[in-house]
Amino acid sequence: LFDKEWSISFAGCGFMGIYYVGATSCILERFPRFIEDASKIYGASAGALTAAVLTLGIPLEKCCADLMSIAKEARKHKLGPLHPSFKLLQRVQDTLLKHLPEDAHVRASGKLSVSLTRVSDVKNVLVSEFDSREELIQALICSCFVPFYCGVIPPRYRGVHYVDGAVTDNLPGCQLKQTITFSPYAGTSDICPQASTLNLPEVRFNNVSIQVNSENLYRVTSTFFPPEPEAMAEICHNGYRDAFRFLQVNNLISSECPIRNLAIDSFKYVCCEVVKESSVKAQQDGLNTLREDHWWLDPHLVENLPIEIQRVLCVACRETRTADGLFSYMTGYLPKKVTSYIQIPYFLPVELVSSLSQRYLLTRGASIHKIHGSVRFGLILWCHFSIFFRYKKNVHAFLICHLLKL
């Protein structure tokens, strides 16, 4: 497989990028030459961010922590990443500015290849040469810009408007021989989840194979709306196991090479101080005590991951729980969540109109008070029409609050 030059390609996948953290951590741990000696590392959208991280050698645990933090912020809002107060690309840009070294453009040029979609003619463009660190960041931001989901006005790269590379080629370089493809969706990619049943129909989204099943439906939903941190931890762990299977099948590691087992290493490798304090008791009473002391994250969900990534996921899961423990979480957090979901059919149309309107005006650099009178009147009329025919009277107070923002 690696007798000649080879390349790697990562499909765009939004918040499912946590899958790549697990998959690439396995490869870097077990067979680092696979990534370090690749001639090209391609990527689209979130896959481009992963490609940049691997090209520049940025620690995966830092990327994992940033992704979990962004997901946590998105989950705070009813509309998730669509809420006008949540600026996804601004968070991504801040993260890139924090982690990319000053010579990132020099190290990335020639090896990193970013998939972009040019707005003027909707053609795919692969960018591999970067004149500055800022230019590299601009290319990555353009590749991640999903129209309407991230905003209305596309960002620029070298003065030209571009949007998400996944719009035209979501698995760049996959047509070339010796290109190893990664995807968090079950399909025909080299490293991807295995489908629970065989002979399923598949669809191809701009070169990415996606089998039609309930698991992939969940994964596609999680692409745009991040699931709870424990679910993201499981996705990360699945990525590790899928990459491990790929290495074994292709004889890159011994078929007898054991994957780490938590039952053996649970007291040698622990992800937080809370577990360390109870490790002696757990050793006496068995693994069940450890699970009880670690109720915010099932240890089996991260048992094979590198310890640094385990710590990040442990902290992310623990932060979502209240200080009062599991009972408080079950009796307080969950009912509130259920109530908010029940309210969504009433509030979603108004929230959505407000969100899109504010995003449009913010990206145009205009004040919300300067909106054209006819547009403002139409917006108010549409909202009242919807409420009059479909929604309860108490939604009027909610509507008024949003219109005051306008």
Q: Which pLDDT tens digit goes with each residue over 357-368?
A: 555 555 554 444
What 3-state DSSP class applies to 204?
strand
Chain center to CA of 108 = 22
Helix residue ranges, H only, 145-228? 214-224
Share of the chain above pLDDT 90, in %: 54
- Residue 106 CB partners (closer than 8 Å, separation 6+): none
Q: For residues 238-257, give the mean pLDDT.
A: 88
- Residue count of the chain, please give it: 406
Least confident of 32-41, 207-216, 339-348: 339-348
Q: Decide which of 76 and 284 is more confident.
A: 76
pLDDT of the residue at 129: 96
Question: Locate tokens 């757990």: which residue?
Answer: 282
Tokens of 369: 């008070």
Q: Decide which of 378 and 295 is more confident.
A: 295
Least confident of 48-62, 146-160, 333-347: 333-347
165 has pLDDT over 90 = yes
- 18-30 helix and 229-249 helix, angle to the nearest 10 degrees: 40
Q: Where are the beta strands (DSSP E) in 208-250?
A: 208-211
Strand 40-44 versus strand 202-205 pairing type: unpaired
| Gap between the Cα atoms of 19 and 16, Å rounded | 6
Of the candidates 93, 65, 164, the residue with the CA atom closest to the CA atom of residue 122: 164
pLDDT of the residue at 270: 54
pLDDT of the residue at 332: 46
pLDDT tens digit string along 110-125? 999 999 999 999 999 9
| Gap between the Cα atoms of 35 and 142, Å rounded | 24
pLDDT of the residue at 320: 78
Q: Are 181 and 9 in contact (CB under 8 A)?
A: yes
Fold of 7-250: Cytosolic phospholipase A2 catalytic domain (3.40.1090)
**Mean pLDDT for the chain?**
79
Q: For residues 218-230, give the mean pLDDT.
A: 95
164 is catalytic: yes
- In eight-state DSSP terms, residue 6 is -
Of the candidates 387, 399, 388, 316, the residue with the CA atom closest to the CA atom of residue 354: 399
Least confident of 42-51, 129-138, 249-258: 249-258
Tokens of 361: 């005006």
What 3-state DSSP class applies to 393?
coil
242 is catalytic: no
| Gap between the Cα atoms of 221 and 400, Å rounded | 31
Within 10 angstroms of residue 169's Cβ, the number of other Cβ atoms is: 25
278 has pLDDT over 60 = no
> Given pLDDT bands bounded at 50, 70 and 90, which one contains residue 93?
very high
Chain center to CA of 44 = 13
State the burial class of residue 339 (Cβ atoms within 10 Å of its Cβ: 0-12, 13-18, 19+): exposed
- In eight-state DSSP terms, residue 322 is -
Least confident of 27-41, 281-295, 368-382: 368-382
59 has pLDDT over 70 = yes
Catalytic residue among 7, 45, 113, 355: 45
Catalytic residue among 66, 164, 169, 242: 164
Least confident of 59-68, 86-95, 332-341: 332-341
298 has pLDDT over 50 = yes
| Gap between the Cα atoms of 210 and 395, Å rounded | 40
Q: Are 52 and 108 in contact (CB under 8 A)?
A: yes
145 has pLDDT over 80 = yes
Q: For residues 272-278, give the mean pLDDT.
A: 51
What 3-state DSSP class applies to 260?
coil
